Structure 1
Amino acid sequence: MLIPKHLCPLLVYDICSTTVEAIEAKINKYTRKWLGVPPGLSDVAMYCRKAKLKLPMKSILEEYKCGKARLLTMLEESDDSVVKTVQPSLKTGRKWKVTEAVDEAKECLKMKEIIGQTQTDRRGLGSTTAKWWSKTKGKEKRDMIIDEIRNKEDSTRVQKAVQQPQQGQWTNWDTAIQRSLTCNDIWHMAPLRISFLIRSVYDLLPSNANLVRWGKMDDPTCPLCQAKGEIQHSSTSSTVFATEGGVKKWHGGSITINTHRKGLLDGCDDWVVSADLPEWERYPDVIRKTALRPVIVIHSASTQQIIRVELNVPYESRMEEAHTFKEGKYLDLTKELKKGWL
């Protein structure tokens, strides 16, 4: 990548952080063009490590700050008595000062040691190990300072995302799992797929509400139910779209099913796969008699088992709501199947 090449002179010479911010703004401009996303995409989407879609991008401003902090700590903790006694002076401008950042990181690490290990996620107690400031020395302390500066930069990005009602909706996706893309993934992806993936996560697809916001339309309402045509509504929230066969039409195109042998399918060899497509007519009679048509049904006549599969994924902010809706939709069918469908 070009960042290490540009980072070397930034760390050697006394260049202020404002100049580095201007360099990063220029890099972000061409990175957005390369990814095929609109110019309004926030830098949080490209560099935040806590986002639901993590991209393999590095912020040159963050690397600049970490490099300056690493250089300062190495000079302060040098084994050479002459170097250690001389007060190092690294000029980084007035907006960000490396000495204040390092001192603040040290104080935060000392405070974390006083507070102790706390639970910050859903993993069980004792699943993670903590490093304490008083029990480390040398390179470990420098690494802890650098990690603390990185965590502060990432926390600043999360705070910025919380203040963005459109592109920061992922901060409320508690049930969604983070997806991390690597450089190899992006290299083998089609350009339009990368663009669609990023724009769908950060609500930059051309929905009716966005087209009005961009000055391309005048009416933001949904043409089916007259609700606000946002991306989460257009995906699966529209009741008219779901009840009048919209989901069936949506899934009536090309569907690719990747099957893997699991323990749930062991025990018999007469599994029959039925899909909600016009040319497929192998639904079990008990489902064919009802007006409900699950997307995919896998059934076995010998063991009297039926597996229902739903492929329509809702918007991440309403995954639990959509799951409850689907459970209620097929509740009567499930009860009837449990009584015996042969």
Structure 2
Amino acid sequence: MATWARLQFKPEKSRSLSILKGKLTGNTFNIQGFEIPTIQDQRIRCLGKQYDSSLKDTGNLTNTKAQLNTWLKAVEHSQLLGRFKVWCFQYGIIPRLKWPFLLYDFPVSQVEGMERLCSKYLRKWLGVPPSFSAVNLYSKTSKLPLPISSVVEEFKATKARAVSTLLSSKDGKVRHASKTIKCGRKWRPQQAVMEAESYWKHQEIVGVVCQGRLGLGHYSDKRWSRADTRARRGLVVQRVREAAEEDRQVKAIGLASQGRWTQWDQAQERSLSWKELWQTDQGKLSFLLRSVTDLLPTPRNIKIWGGEEDPSCNQCGAAFCTLNHILAGCPRALAEGRYRWRHDKVLTEIAKWVEQQRVKANNKQAYPSQSTTFVREGDKAHKTGTGAKNPPSTLQRAFDWELRVDLKKKLVFPQDVAVTSLRPDMVLLSRSTKSIIIAELTVPWEERLATSHQLKKAKYQDLVDEATLKGWHATSYPIEVGCRGFPAKSVRYFLQKMGLEPKQLKKATRGIAAAAESSSRWLWLKRAHSWNPSAGEVFRLRGETPETLRSLLMMWKGSNNVDASRNTILEEVLHHHSK
């Protein structure tokens, strides 16, 4: 015998709505002596969604915007540093917005207004001016992507996920219901989902297309027909995010100044992680962001912004003093040795990693020569166990390498290899195998990375040909590091040839980029002052941790190639840290 539970009516959980001749009235209803509250006085919540007397989402949109403003002000009034406030926005505010975005039909124009409000606070916390473009804040394909999510992108992804969930429901009534999610006229989620599905179906027909120098098997084969419901939903959301990023790329190309990074074809991307943001000084972070977008207060920019400052260079008298002129094009700065000082700092960082690989190669036996093993038809090849996991580097083919770097002392090219007046920055020599490696470093403006590479390659080609005619295996590696801290692809290629493993390669690239960036920042700060290389050394070393400074001091004291002034500088910086 079935037992039916007795239902009890609860007036306090109910709401009443009275409409007379199309207008709301304040009439109330009583059931068994209990008065039911009106929906005008108390809003009702059902399945997480709140309803008021208008039965529309206008009030919920207003409340969400008010809550967002309250959250942003709460983070602003906290005692945290700016970069920590950005983290609170990413992991404290963005997740709270996703639920209202899922429930209510917000127009995209209103969400864009919410993003403008968030961008205003983010620029302040990052130390950039209000003119800093939102494209550079949220773009994930720029040369300097920040780990910050776009409010509009998260809104579109949430709505696309909701539409895809309804269309792929196991319940036929839900799947065939004509539920329309309204987001205004600028963007329609149903159409976006249909375009995403068509895109992945077309990609399945086309297949995997190799891009650049990437080999077979690098890309994962994402097939729409083989994906389950959850995977398809993820593919739809991924495509919606890619479409939003494509729109940002189009806007970036149209930016004359802040979108110049779209022309840095040879520069590697510098993705800032949260750990790097937390460990980066606020002034250093502000300089990096403003230098990439050319928003530093140069005389030329101040003139464009409406200032009365003379746009000419106070050092050499050039008509227009731009950031390019200050960091890479001033003749007087070149004559004073400012650019040479920065060049040597970057070269020192590169030489440090090459020296480690040289010592490692000299302490091991050279790799045996690669030979071809022939196998009879029908037989199987036997593994000898001598093969390496990774292909041997150039240095591993000899164990008597000599390293010469054009630092402190003038580098003299080996006369038995070739007679020349050229002074490459780095020479690696192995007399047993008659191999010589020539490396030439350039620290140009990022837009001249490809041009500098071709010029340096042509400059040393005759030297390589002459050494080859004398029986030497000569190779030249022109390497470039952008003056704002963006290494070219040639740096990674050179370090890979030197035998650096992926983790070491990543660490070395970051160190090289930091050396160029910190040196350029010092040149920027001293653009109107007399040049003092010792002060620049102190400025650069103050950014290091005390443990690193102590290890450098021990290494320098035990080396005969380092003058006593550098030890004095290190001791001064350590004394500054102790205070």
Question: What is the rounded CA distance, in whole Å, between the counterparts of 2:211 and 2:344 in structure 1?
Answer: 43
Cross-structure match for 1:68: 159
Question: What is the rounded CA distance, in whole Å, between the counterparts of 1:138 and 1:220 in structure 2?
Answer: 63
**1:321 lines up with 2:455 in the alignment:** no
In the TM superposition, 1:1-342 aligns within 5 A as: 1=91, 2-216=93-307, 217-220=309-312, 223-224=315-316, 226=318, 228-238=320-330, 241-242=333-334, 245-248=337-340, 257=349, 259-260=352-353, 261-263=356-358, 266=362, 267=399, 275=407, 280-281=408-409, 313-326=443-456
- Specify every segment of 5 or more residues in structure 1 that has no aligned partner in the other structure, as ranges: none
Identity in percent: 34
Question: What is the rounded CA distance, in whole Å, between the counterparts of 2:404 and 2:205 in structure 1?
Answer: 61
- 2:225 aligns to what SS in structure 1? helix
Q: Are the counterparts in 1 of residues 358 and 401 from structure 2 also a CA contact under 8 Å?
A: no
Q: Are the counterparts in 2 of residues 169 and 202 from structure 1 also a CA contact under 8 Å?
A: yes
Distance 1:235 1:86, change over 3 A: same
Question: What is the rounded CA distance, in whole Å, between the counterparts of 1:203 and 1:187 in structure 2?
Answer: 23
Q: Are the counterparts in 2 of residues 110 and 133 from structure 1 also a CA contact under 8 Å?
A: yes
Is the radius of gyration larger for structure 1 or structure 2?
A: 2
Q: Are the counterparts in 2 of residues 7 and 60 from structure 1 also a CA contact under 8 Å?
A: no
Question: What is the rounded CA distance, in whole Å, between the counterparts of 1:286 and 1:320 in structure 2?
Answer: 29
Question: What is the rounded CA distance, in whole Å, between the counterparts of 1:228 and 1:104 in structure 2?
Answer: 48
Question: What is the rounded CA distance, in whole Å, between the counterparts of 1:117 and 1:218 in structure 2?
Answer: 55
Distance 1:129 1:254, change over 3 A: closer
Alpha-carbon distance, 1:21 to partner:
1.1
* Alpha-carbon displacement from aligned partner over 1:36-85 (angstroms, at most 9, x marks no partner): 11111111112111111111111111111111111111111111233223
Alpha-carbon distance, 1:328 to partner:
6.3
Distance 1:233 1:282, change over 3 A: closer
Q: Are the counterparts in 1 of residues 142 and 269 from structure 2 also a CA contact under 8 Å?
A: yes
Question: With structure 2 as the length reference, what TM-score do the two structures score?
Answer: 0.50
Distance 1:135 1:330, change over 3 A: closer
Question: With structure 1 as the length reference, what TM-score do the two structures score?
Answer: 0.80
Q: Are the counterparts in 2 of residues 166 and 202 from structure 1 also a CA contact under 8 Å?
A: yes
Question: What is the rounded CA distance, in whole Å, between the counterparts of 2:284 and 2:327 in structure 1?
Answer: 17
Distance 1:254 1:79, change over 3 A: closer
Question: What is the rounded CA distance, in whole Å, between the counterparts of 1:148 and 1:254 in structure 2?
Answer: 40
Question: What is the rounded CA distance, in whole Å, between the counterparts of 2:186 and 2:153 in structure 1?
Answer: 14
Greater RCO structure (CA 8 Å; 6+ sep):
1
- 1:134 aligns to what SS in structure 2? coil
- Specify every segment of 5 or more residues in structure 2 that has no aligned partner in the other structure, as ranges: 1-90, 363-398, 471-579
* Alpha-carbon displacement from aligned partner over 1:127-157 (angstroms, at most 9, x marks no partner): 3133233333311211111111111100000
Question: What is the rounded CA distance, in whole Å, between the counterparts of 1:243 and 1:336 in structure 2?
Answer: 32
Which of 60-69 and 309-318 deviates more?
A: 309-318
Question: What is the rounded CA distance, in whole Å, between the counterparts of 1:208 and 1:306 in structure 2?
Answer: 46
